[in-house]
Amino acid sequence: MEVCYQLPVLPLDRPVPQHVLSRRGAISFSSSSALFGCPNPRQLSQRRGAISYDSSDQTALYIRMLGSCVIFKQLSTRDVRVRSRAGFETERRGSHPYIDFRIFHSNSEIEVSVSARNVRRLLSFQRYLRSSRFFRGITVPNSSNILDDDYNGQAKCMLEKVGNWNFDIFLFDRLTNVMVQEDYHSQNPYHNAVHAADVTQAMHCYLKEPKLSKSLTPWDVLLSLIAAATHDLDHPGVNQPFLIKTNHYLATLYKNTSVLENHHWRSAVGLLRESGLFAHMSLENRQLMESQIGDLILATDISQQNEYLSMFRSHLDRGDLCLENANHRHFILQMALKCADICNPCRTWELSKQWSEKVTEEFFHQGDIEKKYHLGVSPLCDRQTETIANIQIGFMTYLVEPLFGEWARFSNTRLSQTMLGHLGLNKASWKGVQREQSGSGDDVDPTFEEMDSDILPQEPRLS
């Protein structure tokens, strides 16, 4: 069965746009392209809530919330511009950065990636079947929810199990072509749309936990899922120190503070404003939504880990968390998103190992670029001195175990124990790999120990 969250009832200052559609718990926004037999994008750009398109572009964008999985799709884009309204300026890709991130990938890599994506994503089976029927002259039902057809068959069956912790997001990606517009870079081995979908699925699992499910409002749930789906929007595949030492315009814009997280937040706001999905809300409520989504996304800054964890631990020690209090609920949602963001070591070994390989590949790719341009190799990014096993053991020891230990204190459920169980088994597995590589099982990547103590939490305390 599909999981439906009721949207918050808010005062309307204008009619609900026609492109906001509802069916069986699914909410679809569509400014569709001619691929689906819809009006030309040039015509759509004249309508309220439409996107500003490059005149030569053909674009289809929609937002779908189904089974608590928030999925944003876009078919080919060249120039999507923000129509800024009240509030701060939003950030989107195409802002002319000082560094051209295309240098991270050879031309052949880009060509292969784009070519494969055109076949795999744009011509998924359902779309191919529909378009082939059209060209053969077979009548295609004219449904306003035409995009729902992508979720028939195996993908629909998978969504019935979206609340299971062993949900295989990699298989789901192959079945559904999960994307969050073009603002998730498919060339990134780790920080891509699949990671965003994985974090969203984890967040859904946490929202179902007893302590949260009986206390959260529809507004809380909506913000949490949107924040999870967009928390790494337009991630360039490099970390903050890289942006700072290369004088990237984002580092200057955000004064070297939570650079990526601020950019993800502003990009998310830009996406929401472009979609017009919440155009029926009052300006005050839209601004509140943007602000609270920002609070959630900014909490994922790993450099603030110790601050959030200390506050979480203090609340738990005092036993004063009250989920009837909106501020306390919001804080718990911040902690939940932090857990979802780094939950890979708490998945089954088969899934966790894939994530470990992908994030390390991204680290090493950055290190290769730093070597090539004589920038000084960042910690964890030197493929000549680092190993996946060492990196993962350090990551689990200093960041994951303390966070999930405290989460288990807050929500001591079967899911929490399952996550800690997987974490322990995965750490043991990586130690086994480490022993095979070095002949010793006691090595822990010194990089984590040498990091600023302000960003390293204390050891976990379970009660």
Residue numbers in the known binding site are 191-195, 231-232, 341, 392
Phi then psi for residue 69, to 5 deg, are: -100, 120
Contact criterion met (CB below 8 Å) for 363 and 250:
no
Contact criterion met (CB below 8 Å) for 50 and 40:
no
User: Catalytic one among 19, 185, 191, 365?
Assistant: 191
User: Cα–Cα distances in Å, from 285 out to 53, 221, 288, 334, 342?
Assistant: 27, 15, 5, 20, 30
The 3-state secondary structure of 230-252 reads HCCCCCCCCCHHHHHHCCCHHHH
Token digits of residue 187 = 């060339």
- 3 state SS of 29: strand
Q: In which element (H, E) is residue 62 found? A: strand 60-66
- Residues annotated in a binding site for AMP: 191-195, 232, 341, 392
For residue 369, give the nearest of 95, 106, 113 by alpha carbon.
106
- What's the CA gap between 310 and 339, in Å, rounded? 15
Q: Where are the beta strands (DSSP E) in 292-410?
A: none
- The sheet that has 69-75: what strands, in order across it? 20-23, 26-29, 60-66, 69-75
- 3 state SS of 136: coil
- 3 state SS of 60: strand
- Catalytic residue check, 191: yes
Contact criterion met (CB below 8 Å) for 426 and 367:
no
- Residues annotated in a binding site for Zn(2+): 195, 231-232, 341
For residue 341, give the nearest of 425, 231, 417 by alpha carbon.
231
Which residues are known catalytic residues? 191
